[in-house]
Amino acid sequence: MRLLYNLAMYLFTPLVMLRLMARGMRYGDYHVRWRERFGSFPTPRLSGCLWVHAVSVGEVNAAEPLVKALMEAYPHAPLLVTTVTPTGSERVRQLFGDRVHNLYLPYDLPFAVRRFLRNTRPRLAVIVETEIWPNLYFACRRHGIPLLIANARLSERSLRGYARMSSLVRRALRCVSHIAAQSRTDAARYRLLGAEPSQLTVCGNLKFDMPVPQAALEGGRTMREAWGDGRPVWIAASTHEGEEMCVLEAHLDVMRRLPDALLLIAPRHPERFRAVETSVRSLGFTVATRSAHGAPGHTTQCFVIDSMGELLRFYAAADVAFVGGSLIPIGGHNVLEPAALYKPVLVGPHTFNFEEITEALLGAEGGERVADGDGLGTAVLSILRDEPRRLAMGRAARQVFESERGSVGKVMTLVDDLLQE
């Protein structure tokens, strides 16, 4: 199975490179730092580093409180944060600047992984959320590097995917020192993949421990003052192709009853910024964008957030938040950020990536699920027009967020134990 896996990786790598080239046509950062994807880079002083891997923006945001805890607990250890996407790399720079080293994780090719570990020589590897890369895991074991999967989640869909190569995944998981699962359901799914009970601890979700920057709150208040405090405002965050038109049609429904309503729309991927702006204009909305106008004006009907790393500020400025990736079978995105800011949360039917958190939010009446795009406008309008309900939902959402905090401390206990061993 491992031989077949390696053969597939070698065969598919050229196709992945072509895909990166194509994406680079719309987002130029995909064209740079390609050598890092094969484990080759100018060797900084990384020997003995603490290494955290976070695939993209969502995982980097989840890892933020853990990375800061590592900085505080081990101030003299170099800290390396790897990502897969340019947007993830950009988010690392925004959050941590030059306090951490940032590289792309190499492809899971034996020679690339060996080169990467030879150049970095980490004391500890922390993989955030769902990444299982067999060659990387085997290499960490050979080099004696403790490996921790933190904030570990495993959706039903991922479980089915990994089950197709169960023997290889089982061997890879035996190389893991410990798995800090987000929930009992995630822990059970890792058991089905072959993890031993002694490897598993349910630690909760790191995202519950994320800080809410005062600057984001103040920025939200300032924007509300600029475009009119009394305007009803909703945000559609982390949207995907196939969802944006549903969101825009929902906003048309909202504006029929609330003509001064404002929609903030934040596409998930930068390469979609221009396409979403074009769609908005084609429907006749008065449009402004983050890059061209900075903030919405009094007459703006739809504001396209064509920037990265600013969602908290715009969540703070909105009355209601719809979290994307849930009207289509992507599996949903982070509902905790709006919950932390006392915002009622709307999601679609597909939330398997954040199953237990979403159910907790819905159960506490801090959020609401819509069956499809046709029901989105009605749900938004209902909440915008009922202030007591809106405020009650926001308080309930925040209570769910507060009740689940403490994951970072549990994960840091595991980190300390592994480093002492």
| H-run or E-run covering 264 | strand 262-267
| Residue from 184, 228, 218 nearest 357 by CA | 184
| Residue from 246, 242, 296, 247 nearest 269 by CA | 242
Tell me if residue 271 is catalytic: no
The tokens describing 265, both together, are 């729309």
Secondary structure E strands in 134-258: 147-152, 178-181, 200-202, 233-239
Q: Cβ neighbours of residue 81 under 8 Å, at least 6 residues apart?
A: 51, 52, 53, 54, 60, 63, 67, 92, 96, 100, 101, 102
Torsion on CA atoms 215, 219, 222, 223, rounded to nearest 10: 180
Residue with tokens 């039917």: 349
Q: Phi and psi for 255 in degrees, rounded to 5? A: -70, -20
CA-CA distance, 121 to 46, in Å (whole number)? 7
CA-CA distance, 310 to 133, in Å (whole number)? 31
CA-CA distance, 148 to 199, in Å (whole number)? 10
| H-run or E-run covering 117 | helix 110-120
Question: Which residue out of 59, 90, 277, 368 is catalytically annotated?
Answer: 59
Q: Which residues pair with 200 in a beta bridge?
A: 179
C-alpha distances (whole Å) from 50 to each of 176, 197, 242, 286, 383 are 16, 26, 40, 48, 45
CA-CA distance, 314 to 412, in Å (whole number)? 31
DSSP 107: P
State the catalytic residues. Answer: 59
